[in-house]
Amino acid sequence: MRTFFLTNFLFFLSLLLQAQNSEAAKNLLDEVSKTIDGFNNLSFNFTYVLENRQENIRQQTEGFATISGDLYKVNFLGNEQLFDGEKTYTVIPENEEITVSKSEDDNEFGINPSELLIFYKQGYAFQWDIKQKVAGRPIQFIKLIPNKENNDLKYLLLGIDLRKKTIYRLIEVTTTDTRTTLTLKDLKTNLPLSPSFFSFDFSKYPDYYINN
C-alpha cells in the first residue's frame, strides 16, 4: 500500500512540476514577445550553422537582417532579399537575376526574419530547459515540441537572453539528427531608417534579368 501511494504521489508530483515548467516557459516567451513588439525596428547579424555528425557535415554562413513589423531586408549566402509588405524581391548577383514573388510565396532563402521572432506563438508545446552563461549573459533555453506530428522536425531549442528578454539562439533538431543553429549577434533596435529603406529600387540593377 505504501509503495502504491508513493508511486502515485511521485507521478502526481512529476505532472505538477511539468505543468509549472510549461507555464514558466510560456510566461518567459510572452515577455520576449512583448519586448519585441515594443521595438519600431531591429537589426542584427546572425550565424547559421548546419551540422550532421553522422554524415560529417558542418557548414557555417554569416548574414545580416533588418526588420520592421512584417517588412524585412536580409543578406544571406551573398544574396539579398527584401519584403516591402506586398512582394518579395530576391537579388542573386552571381546570376544577375532578380526574382519577384507575391508575399504568400515560399521564402527562397528558407529564412524569414520577421517570422523568426514570432514563430513560436503557435503550434508548439513548451518545456523549461537548460540555462547557460554565454559571454557573461544568462541564456535560458525553452524546448519547443511540435503539437502536430512532423516527419522532419523533432524539436526546437529557443535560447532567451534573460537580461534583455530577446532571442539569442534558435536550434532546430530534425528526425534525421540534422541540427541547424541560428545565433543572433549585435542586436540593435529603433534605428533611424529612411522611409524608402524597405522599398526596392530596380534602377540599381539595370542589367539584371527580372523573373516575375
Q: Reply yes or no on whether the pLDDT at 3 is more than 50.
A: no
C-alpha distance from residue 74 to each of 11, 89, 170 (Å): 48, 11, 17
pLDDT (tens digit per residue) in 15-48: 333 444 678 888 888 888 888 888 999 999 999 9
Measured CA to CA, the distance from residue 129 to residue 155 in angstroms comes to: 12
Q: Reply yes or no on whether the pLDDT at 49 is more than 90.
A: yes
Measured CA to CA, the distance from residue 23 to residue 80 in angstroms comes to: 39
Three-state DSSP class for residue 133: strand
Q: Which of 51-55, 103-107, 125-129 bottoms out in mean pLDDT, i.e. has the lowest?
A: 103-107
Q: Which of 8-22, 108-122, 162-176, 182-196 bottoms out in mean pLDDT, i.e. has the lowest?
A: 8-22
Measured CA to CA, the distance from residue 74 to residue 55 in angstroms comes to: 29
Higher pLDDT, 131 or 120: 131
Cell 535560447 -> residue = 159
Q: What is the DSSP letter of 4?
A: H
Q: Reply yes or no on whether the pLDDT at 104 is more than 90.
A: no
Measured CA to CA, the distance from residue 125 to residue 143 in angstroms comes to: 8
Three-state DSSP class for residue 175: coil
- Domains in the chain (CATH in brackets) are 19-211 (2.50.20.10)
pLDDT (tens digit per residue) in 106-119: 555 555 666 666 67
**pLDDT score recorded for residue 8:** 38
- Residue 162 pLDDT class (50, 70, 90 cuts): very high
